[in-house]
Chains A and B, each alone.
Chain A
Amino acid sequence: MTSSGDAQVTAGDADDPALEPGGEPGRGRTVAYVAVVALIGVLIGLLAWQLSSRDRGNAIPGEIAKGDRPETPDFTLPRLDGQGTLQLSSLRGKAVVVNFWASWCVPCRDEAPLLQQAWETYRDRGLVIVGVDSEDLTSDARAFVQRYGLTFPNVRDGEGSVKGRFGLVGYPETFFVDPEGRLVSHVPGPVEADTLERGIEAALAG
């Protein structure tokens, strides 16, 4: 028994270069089908990869809120003062406060003095504050650092490439990292003196 497609083969099909004499699909057509299927497969794979990598970042604040301690996403970014780069994982063994900010962000201006004060208070206990200036003009960011007299290390992420890995939804946001590199606390929005202190103590306690 033949399929209905085979049964419909007429004399005209003999002229079809895509069909071989026996009515079997030609090699060229098979290759074309495989290429189209492969292309669709690659596109679906890219979409899945994009969605899964986005979800990983988005999941971090939720995991911290549940009491989990997810591993801190690593990054290497140029320092705002132009003195090379800073890799977050190179600070392993120290408690770290990662603060995302931008010079155009009004609440960031309010919390900048608090962060500087915390840096001066806790640095002798092994705390490092890392400011990540995101989606900002370099000149504006440098002026911001100078205006608020920030002396802790600040790095620059003009493209905002790191924010997705932390699941950021706005500026400012602050993450507290223990000496083993695990996220122990997260403050979306501006920190206040008490939330900053609690986060730092949790990070130092490990």
Chain B
Amino acid sequence: MIRPRRLLLLAALLGTLVAAAPALASERNPTLQELEGEVMCPTCNSLLELSHSPVSDRIRAFILERIEAGDTKSEIKDALVAEFGTRVLAAPPTEGANVIVWVLPLVGALVAIVVIGLLLRRWSRSRPVGQRPLAAGDGVALDPELDRRLEDELRRFDS
């Protein structure tokens, strides 16, 4: 009998394989359609799939030739980068100075979270008692009239 932990591990492994299968198939047998969504037109700075410039038509023909020659998606992209530089890729590669493009938004988001957190903390602490939610130990007495009404409501609720 298979132990539950092993069964879970097996399921996770199968799940990973199922998820990775389309990516592997796409890498080995790329289509023009998917590459058009990952490659830029160098003269108009828009995706190839949106461009009908003369150079885009030539790039499409180039991609089709390479697909027919049996190249993988990575090989086709590498060949395009050799021709036009990395700006031909819709997503810049995660190496060299391009790392900044990927890291900077994350750093910005982290800084924003920290700054907002600090500000919220500061504001919540600087609010005078009475303007913030009462916490245990604040020791603030209720208005006698309000206290009486609250007691009445609680009694009615109990009965």
Contact = CB atoms under 8 A, between A and B. Distances in A.
Interface residues of B, number: 22
A9 B128 CA distance: 10
B65 to A, nearest CB: 10
A137 B111 contact: no
Contacts of B58: 103-104, 136-137, 140
Contacts of A140: 58
B159 interface: no
Contact of A104 (B55, B126, B128): B55
B68 to A, nearest CB: 15
Contacts of B85: 158-161
Interface in B65-116: 82-85, 87, 107, 111, 114-115
A104 B44 CA distance: 14
B83 A13 contact: no
A65 interface: no
B87 A12 contact: no
A39 interface: yes
Nearest to A32: B114
B10 interface: no
Nearest to B88: A159
A139 B42 CA distance: 17
Contacts of B114: 32
A50 interface: no
A138 interface: yes
B87 A159 contact: yes
A12 B137 CA distance: 12
Given A10-B125, A136-B55, A158-B83, A36 B62 contact: no
A105 B54 contact: yes
B26 interface: no
A157 B125 CA distance: 60
Q: State the main secondary structure of chain A at its contact with B.
A: loop
B137 to A, nearest CB: 11
Interface centre among B83, B87, B118 (most CB of A within 10 A): B83
B31 interface: no
Contacts of A32: 114
B43 interface: yes
Interface centre among A8, A106, A158 (most CB of B within 10 A): A158
B126 A102 contact: no
A199 to B, nearest CB: 25
Given A9-B126, A159-B84, 18 more contacts: A5-B126, A8-B126, A8-B128, A12-B125, A13-B125, A39-B107, A39-B111, A102-B55, A104-B55, A104-B57, A106-B54, A135-B43, A135-B55, A137-B58, A137-B62, A158-B82, A159-B85, A160-B43
Interface of B: 42-43, 54-55, 57-59, 62, 82-85, 87, 107, 111, 114-115, 118, 121, 125-126, 128
Interface of A: 5, 8-10, 12-13, 16, 18, 29, 32, 36, 39, 102-106, 135-138, 140, 158-161
14 contacts: A10-B125, A18-B118, A39-B107, A102-B55, A103-B58, A104-B54, A135-B42, A135-B55, A136-B58, A137-B59, A158-B83, A159-B42, A159-B84, A160-B85
